[in-house]
Structure 1
């Protein structure tokens, strides 16, 4: 499951058990990307707060499916199959269109933005995400201006930026510690966007 020691749900006590209880699915499953933090519960708490607020908050204006798509794309670019598998499953749950999700995933894995079946504005966001992921020091004001020209507000651009930045963190957490999907249920995510403190994965 990982290259470092992790603490199981049944063996967890104190703050770790309280965090697990907040995150776990109804049948007590905690994703390995969270279990990998179990030796430092405060790190798990920070990760989960960031994840919930960046991807699953009612204050976001971009649709949740598109934020998930961005996460899949960044994870493809970073070679993080764990996050690709989890968030492609989450995307499928949100879109309820298996054929379209399969087309999206195939185009992303081929790194062919033009083939992704989304609007031109969303393709522009994918280009921004690619550049920020692969060559962050080359970002320029023009990259943000290009998103504005596609109709994104500055708040929308911030949301896009934060999803890309979050997945850079999540991918490196997973890849650097050898986290696998063994025992995970793919695609679970916090459902209650109205409450940032509700981390339950349903």
Structure 2
């Protein structure tokens, strides 16, 4: 699975184990990222604290699906197999569209998404690939689609955070769980 063997669930600190078991209960499996990063508990805690602050926040106008759309598109640009497959699965579920993740990962400009989402991904991709070129001209098109300055910060922060995640997953050869490939494509087994 990875160049760096993941610890067994029994080997991780209690607080991390409790969180992993919560995820397992909800998803039906343990996503590989949870154990792979648990080899360094302090970094695990920091990573998931920032992940949750960005991806689970309630304020702002970004939906959970749009947040996952940002992750899927920018992870594809960064060639991160783990994040494209895992977050693509979550995107399919939130958007209730079995084809959207593949479309967004391959070419979001031709995907079945709204003009607002396309503008959001245009900006996310600029942050992903050419953040040094972001300037004041990038903000009015986002404002025209109803994004606040705080929403724009969220788009950039999600993009930047997952740039880190993409690089960690890729260098460590983290592989997506087989379960992710079918999630949101076929009805969930009960």
Same fold (TM over 0.5): yes
Report the alpha carbon displacement of residue 64 of structure 1 after superposing the two structures with TM. Answer: 0.5
Alpha-carbon RMSD across the aligned residues, in angstroms, is 2.2
Verify: 1:186 aligned to 2:180, yes or no.
yes
Report the alpha carbon displacement of residue 119 of structure 1 after superposing the two structures with TM. Answer: 1.8
Write out aligned runs for 1:1-202 (5 A).
Answer: 1-9=1-9, 11-13=10-12, 16-24=13-21, 25-26=24-25, 29-98=29-98, 102=99, 104-113=100-109, 115-182=110-177, 185-186=179-180
1:106-144 deviations in Å (ceiling 9; x for gaps): 43333251x222221211111111111111212212112
Q: Distance in 1 between matches of 2:101 and 2:37?
A: 29
Kindly indicate which of the two structures has a greater share of residues assigned to helix: 2
Q: TM-score, normalised by structure 2?
A: 0.84
Report the alpha carbon displacement of residue 29 of structure 1 after superposing the two structures with TM. Answer: 4.0
Report the alpha carbon displacement of residue 17 of structure 1 after superposing the two structures with TM. Answer: 3.5
1:15-37 deviations in Å (ceiling 9; x for gaps): x2420221331288432212222
1:168-197 deviations in Å (ceiling 9; x for gaps): 111111012111124x64289xxxxxxxxx
The answer to whether the Cα contact below 8 Å between 1:20 and 1:30 also exists between their aligned partners in 2 is: no
Q: Distance in 1 between matches of 2:113 and 2:97?
A: 13
Q: Which runs of 5+ in 2 are unaligned?
A: 184-190
When residues 110 and 93 of structure 1 are mapped into structure 2, their CA distance, relative to the original with a 3 A threshold, is: closer
**What is the aligned partner in structure 2 of residue 193 from structure 1?**
none
1:45-74 deviations in Å (ceiling 9; x for gaps): 111111111011223431111111111001
Q: TM-score, normalised by structure 1?
A: 0.79
Specify which structure has the bigger relative contact order, considering alpha-carbon pairs within 8 angstroms and separated by 6 or more residues.
1
User: Which aligned segments of 4 or more residues in structure 1 are displaced greater than 6 angstroms?
Assistant: none
Q: Distance in 2 between matches of 1:176 and 1:60?
A: 33
When residues 109 and 91 of structure 1 are mapped into structure 2, their CA distance, relative to the original with a 3 A threshold, is: closer
